[in-house]
C-alpha cells in the first residue's frame, strides 16, 4: 500500500499543473474512481480538513489521504510523492525559463496552460458542488460565502469560521 500511495502521488505531482486546486480532480480520480480506496464522501471530508489546515492544499490532501489509508507512514510517503516532482521540476524550469522567457511561443504556451488550469479548477468546483450541495441550507451558506469572498474580501479563515458556525446553527 505504501508503494502504491507513493507512486500514485508521484504521478499526480508529476502531471498536475496549476497548483493544489487543479490537482483535486486528479486526486479524486485516483483515490475514488480508479482505485476505489476512498468513497466520495470520505474524499470530501479530506478536502474539507485540507482546506481548513494551514499549508498548500495539494500537500494537505496527500498527507491526509495517506494518513487515512495507511496511517503515519502513508502520510509521509504520500506527501513526499506529491512534492518530489515539483521540487525537481522547479529546479530545472528555473534554469530553462531564464533562457527562454522572452520567446513569444513560450508566452503562448503559458497562456494555454493557464486556460487549462482554469478549466480544472472549475471542474473541481462542479464535482464538489454536485456532492456537497445537498439542500437549500448548504446552498445558502455556500452562496453567502461566495458573495462575501467576491465583494467583501474577508480573510478566508473568517469565512471558514462563519460558515462552520452557520452550519452548526442551521444543521444542528
**For residue 47, which phi and psi values (nearest 5 degrees)?**
-60, -45
Question: Which grid coordinates belong to 35?
Answer: 482505485
For the whole prediction, is pTM greater than 0.85? no
**Per-residue confidence (pLDDT) for residue 172, from 0 to 100:** 67
Helix 40-52 / helix 57-100 crossing angle, nearest 10 deg: 70
Per the listing, cell 467576491 goes with 150
What is the C-alpha to C-alpha distance for residues 16 and 101, in angstroms, rounded to an integer? 22
Question: Which region among 15-19, 66-70, 121-125, 154-158 has the lowest average model confidence (pLDDT)?
Answer: 15-19
**For residue 101, which phi and psi values (nearest 5 degrees)?**
-60, -25
Per the listing, cell 534554469 goes with 95
pLDDT per residue as tens digits for the range 82-138? 999 889 988 998 888 888 878 898 888 888 999 999 998 899 888 888 888 878 888
- Residue 12 · residue 23 · CB < 8 Å: yes
pLDDT per residue as tens digits for the range 11-63? 998 887 777 788 888 889 999 999 999 999 999 999 989 988 888 888 999 99
**Per-residue confidence (pLDDT) for residue 96, from 0 to 100:** 86
Amino acid at each position: 500500500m505504501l508503494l502504491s500511495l507513493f507512486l500514485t502521488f508521484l504521478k499526480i505531482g508529476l502531471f498536475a499543473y496549476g497548483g493544489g486546486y487543479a490537482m483535486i480532480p486528479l486526486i479524486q480520480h485516483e483515490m475514488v474512481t480508479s482505485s476505489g480506496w476512498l468513497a466520495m464522501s470520505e474524499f470530501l471530508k479530506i478536502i474539507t480538513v485540507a482546506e481548513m489546515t494551514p499549508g498548500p492544499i495539494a500537500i494537505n490532501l496527500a498527507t491526509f489521504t495517506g494518513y487515512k489509508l495507511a496511517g503515519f507512514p502513508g502520510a509521509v510517503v504520500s506527501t513526499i510523492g506529491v512534492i518530489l516532482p515539483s521540487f525537481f521540476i522547479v529546479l530545472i524550469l528555473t534554469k530553462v525559463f531564464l533562457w527562454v522567457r522572452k520567446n513569444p511561443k513560450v508566452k503562448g504556451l503559458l497562456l494555454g496552460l493557464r486556460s487549462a488550469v482554469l478549466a480544472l479548477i472549475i471542474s473541481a468546483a462542479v464535482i464538489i458542488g454536485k456532492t456537497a450541495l445537498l439542500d437549500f441550507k448548504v446552498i445558502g451558506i455556500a452562496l453567502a460565502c461566495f458573495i462575501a469572498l467576491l465583494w467583501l474580501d474577508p480573510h478566508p479563515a473568517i469565512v471558514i469560521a462563519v460558515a462552520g458556525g452557520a452550519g452548526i446553527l442551521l444543521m444542528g
